[in-house]
Structure 1
Amino acid sequence: MALSIRGYAAQNATSPLAAHQFERRDPRPDDVVIDILYCGVCHSDIHQARNEWHGSIYPMVPGHEIVGRVTAVGSQVTRFKAGDTVGVGCMVDSCRHCASCNAGLEQYCEEGPTWTYNAMDRRDGLPTFGGYSERIVVSDKFVVSISDKLDLKAAAPLLCAGITTWSPLRHWNIGKGSKVAVIGLGGLGHMGLKFAKAMGADVTLFTRTPGKEAEARRLGADHVVLSTDARQMSAAAKQFDFILDTVPSPHDLNPYLATLKLNGVHCLVGQLEPLDPPVQAGMVILGRRSISGSAIGGIAETQEMLDFCAEHNIVSDIEMIDIKDINHAYDRMLKSDVHYRFVIDIASLKQPA
């Protein structure tokens, strides 16, 4: 029998999110049934709810930074049992047979991954609904274990903001002796600082906002460069092996490329729009520099990150909200008024509206 679930949904691109009742599928033999405890709020939730990426399916229940407890498992599931603390990130399925999936890189599935919300289930063709809800049903292949050593509410954003910054740092072998710069101090940037520092790198924050030095150092930065100060940018020339660029809107890459060493890499994890202004090709050619990009991470890599976080006591800096305050939280996010991630206490779904 299908599960009737309480959640919050967008009914169209302009209406506020509001209480919504919907059905989850009957659990399959490979499924894990999870009571959701906490769900992080990602800026992409706003893009999707407001159809800013032009592919929204309504009603939409957002949320892909999910932490919860297992309540039941299917007959084929051996990795999880009732009572386990688990997480679900941005994906709930993929084709499972292409070269990317076979390499544990499900986020690059050649047929496209099935997203946790605003997608269609590969098996039954029904819409997927996310973590702004009391329960979720997910294939065990897309569920990860979360250590109870971690502050569970602050672990929720690791499922997106965390893995988005961890994956490129791991791919480019950041470690002791690496000189890393992070552009932007938001939900992604603050995780980039924490991870790069814990990996042993010498870490710099690039920021356009004066007065962030103490906060950046608290989060792991060894140095802070004000990117609007030509003198400071000139002093940073040819310093870095790797730049993690978390800025979500178009910005000029050229000043940052000048701060890369020979063979340095500038990796975009926030911006999806065309590069504007154009990149000066000489800046790339004359230092054998690279501009690259990275999207979240595969399931095995996400588990690796969570285990690293448990070992190093790394979680996101968060602000807890009740689900009835989600629309106000969206408004604040659009003003960059959050340090550094909102997390919904899903227990608040049980309170009167």
Structure 2
Amino acid sequence: MSLYKTIIRPLLFKVDPEKVHYFVFDTLKFLSKIPGVSALTQAIYKIEDPRLIRELFGISFKNPVGLAAGFDKNAVLFNQLADFGFGFVEIGTVTPKGQEGNTKKRLFRLKADKALINRMGFNNLGVKEIVENLKQNEGKIIIGGNIGKNTGIPENQYTQDYCHVFEELHPYVDYFVLNVSCPNVSSHAKLEDKDYLLELVAAVQKINNSKEEQRPILLKIAPDLNTTQLDEIIDLVAETKLDGVIASNTSVNREGLKASKQQLAAIGNGGLSGQPIKDRSTAVIKYLAEKSNKAFPIIGVGGIHSAADALEKIAVGADLVQVYTGFIYEGPALVKKINKAILKNT
């Protein structure tokens, strides 16, 4: 049992999860300023091996293990997170204007399930401030920009919001993710409608094509889509020539949880992440890869709490993987364990 699981995690888990999140950020920021700490962290957690390099949509990833969006929403910690051995970090979700998100309390642990439920609601500082943070990029890691719309805007302004963030972030990120599948934002259904997605993708691609250097554009989808909806995603990618898909976002499904009905009722709405969505996410990856004949790259995310979980997603068709809830429950050593397992299976 690691130091993280025996001492650090039990202490952190005694405190409200959102407060702990900011405490950890402040602590890592402070420690990173101490001479030698960055080098020590890299020595403990980082693996560099040419066999881990992945070339995808014109980007060279040092390794295939990334940090999913939602952790470093405001791009304040990506330089420090690079020291923990990630191959890439996805910031966001970023919206045009800063917004508080949903009312607190909005982040909950389901300890028995090794899961989280969140209804954060795209809380972030807004694209202008996030761009200022990205200007501090030390060039240590690939950065993805996960983008969305502001809450409460009229439907006819959705595309305008995505395009605004796309334009502003373009010089500062290596790839983009259109977040159209978060269950914690208004008009979630419209964002997953194929006709609307065709409009949205065309609009951001028009901006992308006007640039001297284009950025890859990926779509993040829900784990709760049925096969008909997944077929639509495959058709959409083929039709629009999107660069790839991230499978998957959080889930609204509550089946098979160890948490009691009373506990879940007290928590209320939100997106479920962590171990309970592992198999659902893997099934979506497998379906997309097989049905499309591996026509596009897939980033696999959802319920990765061990090296075996990551290898399973890679085996069914994921080219890269991302962790989030597993990183919180299992600790920073998870990234190294996954990369070591990938090398062992190379």
Shared fold by TM > 0.5?
Answer: no
**Structure whose residues are more often strand by fraction:** 1
Higher helix share: 2
- When the two structures are superposed, what TM-score results if normalisation uses the length of structure 1? 0.29
State the structure with more CA Rg.
1
TM (normalized to structure 2)? 0.29
